[in-house]
Chain A
Amino acid sequence: MAWARRILRVNLTKGTCTHEPLNMDWAKRYLGQRGLATKYLTEEIDPKVDPLDPGNKLIMATGPLTGTCASTAGRYSVITKGALTGAIACSNSGGFFGNEMKNAGLDMIIFEGRATSPVYLFIDNDDCQLLDASGYWGTSVWDTEEGIKEAHGDPQIRVASIGVAGEKGVKFACVVNDMHRAAGRSGVGTVMGSKNLKAVAIRGTKGVSVDDMPAFLKAAAAGKAVLADNAVTGQGLPAYGTQVLMNVINETGALPTRNHRDIQFEGASKISAEAMAEPRESDGKPNLVRNAACFGCTIACGRVSTIDRTHYTVVDRPQYQKASGGLEYEAAWALGAATGVDDLDALTFANFICNEQGIDPISFGATVGAAMEMFEDGVITTKEAGGIDVKFGSAKALTDLAELCGRGEGFGAEIGLGSKLLCEKYGKPELSMSVKGQEFPAYDGRGIQGMGLTYATSNRGACHLRSYTVASEILGIPEKTDPLVTDGKAGLVKAFQDATAAVDSAGICVFTTFAWTLEDIAPQIDAACEGDWSVEALLATGERIWNLERQFNLAAGFTGKDDNLPPRLMKDAAKTGPAKGLTSGLDKMLPEYYQLRGWSKDGVPTNETVSRLEL
């Protein structure tokens, strides 16, 4: 129960859709979503396959709690070999699509092969068809979603699609559902585009059952009470969203600025949550219209924003004058501090374009930041940049490049390579602020030491969500640790990684963990699912998933040498703030981390670890 016990296998080469029973032995060991789909992927593809080869597969997966009445239980993930990284990719999204998929009786959809011409998958409960998408090819996420709903005459259909960026091979293209919720990282949308798969549209009304309904209702209600009573999830996140971190991280001296050259941004306050709430001069209205919630969420951290109608980006462009998905912290950082741009409306516009055309704002903004540094160094000139002055701080360069990258055109297509390939192309590989090809998010590993280890060891390339030690090192959740020291960080990172892998496999949002511990989550999973889902079982599952992902990466050709940070973080000391004079202490943390993981000195799980985890 809780699992629908059914997957849909879609062979795009043959044009077939086949239902199969879920492998319940695997479900009991990998839970669902991230863990279970990784198990399927690693069993079914050659780890060395080119991510854009038809031999790569793409899996959309829900968790056992997806579609239930647990808070935030609308999540799904997209799992594949990432186009940006060549590593295991798993990108998690909220909105309403995951719930619809589960209600169509699906734990997973596995896409294999490549269609000969653009198609979209339409699912109406048990009825599944591949339909012609040539009319949507070349159009945005927004137009595709609206077009499909209109074509089927059903506004209740939920759609996940790619924009033009995913069709054109932009390496960090996303899968966007519900207009502005994205499975954002690692280029999962690029893989979808390589399969000629434009969209997945679902109508599901079958309902979701659980193993022990009275116990589940009790556990879910208790969980909601914890979220409501907690000052962060009950008040802070709904009122200010994740963007409240902009000033916090800047004050802490860990806000990567201008391609990580600096770690404090003088324009931070202009692009913060507080700035989004300030009435603007032109119409007296603030950027922030309201907050928003994903399916079943009782936190509602989402932002809905408008752009000043007199701003150069939207004058005479009414389609961008409407309220749409606003800035989250990561996007505001990448589009703002990483590029030195402090124009809130320009950032909001670039964010709209990222949603409209399906590009990851983190990788996009960070890559623009790298291009700006190369422009300043004279390695890239306006000639290469198609006439654009790619200067740090230029709002116009940022918004022009967002539009070009979204369409995969001109210098925007070069930005679409991601910072690793772009910097290699121009002979400056050291300027790519990435790990395993994926750009860093919004925390500097010198100012928050645990995040350096987090990025270096993240299985999907640099990522904050694999072990969000910021919670402990900065925010004191569950307890405060010193961000400037390396002691204890190996254990902290491992603990966050294992717990997060379990949460990501359950169908709920990781933001619940600002209030919930596994003690709050385990009773909900245990009541919903057959089997024993104690805290210990969840932690063991999380550790198993982490090691399975690691094994895939090793088989794909990664080694311990890839658990590294760019020279800038290892050699150039922070110039200001509390971390002034510090570099990343990765070399101190990594050996201890390997030891705690039960890995060899080269970062390979030992035979003992493999058998202990029953891999």
Chain B
Amino acid sequence: MKIRVKLYASLAEHLPAGTKGNETDLEVAADATPATVIAQLGLPEKMCHLVLLNGVYVEPSARAATSIRDGDALAMWPPVAGG
């Protein structure tokens, strides 16, 4: 199935070469979870601080158990803040 992956700030360097902007479509296994996508993209786990599936926060402990569906959007950030 295909999902939309969005990688921001320093994680953007892990997007496939030639990606314009911060997002791309990604073919993933039917039983994909945020944890499997992180592994598939070779993202340093410690840097995947904020993980949002369709805008909803996925706790670190739930990343291997949360199913992703076709067409979902998975967005990730390293530790960031603002004000």
Contacts and interface: CB of A to CB of B under 8 A. Distances in A.
Contacts of A241: 82
B81 to A, nearest CB: 5
B19 to A, nearest CB: 12
Interface residues of B, number: 24
A242 B57 CA distance: 20
- Mostly helix, strand, loop or mixed at chain A's interface? helix
6 contacts: A230-B79, A236-B80, A236-B81, A239-B9, A244-B77, A244-B82
B50 A475 contact: yes
A139 interface: no
Contacts of B50: 248, 474-476
Given A231-B78, A247-B8, A577 B55 contact: yes
Contacts of B81: 232-233, 236-237, 242, 244-245, 471, 475, 477, 511, 514
B80 A578 contact: no
A67 B57 CA distance: 40
A242 B8 contact: no
Nearest to A252: B55
Contact of A251 (B10, B52, B59): B52
Interface of A: 230-233, 235-237, 239-245, 247-248, 251-253, 269, 273-274, 328-330, 464-465, 468, 471, 474-477, 480, 482, 510-511, 514, 577-578
B72 to A, nearest CB: 12
Contact of A244 (B9, B52, B57): B9
A480 B51 CA distance: 12
Contacts of B52: 251-252
A241 B82 CA distance: 7
Contact of B9 (A236, A242, A330, A514): A236
B82 A242 contact: yes
B44 to A, nearest CB: 12
B54 to A, nearest CB: 7
A329 B83 contact: yes
A510 B73 CA distance: 33
A248 B57 CA distance: 11
Contacts of A577: 55
Most buried by B among A233, A240, A243, A251: A251
B79 A245 contact: no
Contacts of B8: 244, 247-248, 274
B27 to A, nearest CB: 22
Interface in B31-83: 49-50, 52, 54-57, 59, 73, 75, 77-83
Contacts of A230: 79
B24 interface: no
A169 B80 CA distance: 38
B13 to A, nearest CB: 11
A236 B6 CA distance: 18
Contact of B79 (A231, A269, A329, A330): A231
A476 B58 CA distance: 11
Contacts of B12: 274
A230 B78 CA distance: 12
Given A241-B82, A245-B81, 10 more contacts: A232-B80, A235-B78, A236-B78, A242-B83, A243-B82, A244-B77, A245-B80, A251-B55, A464-B83, A476-B50
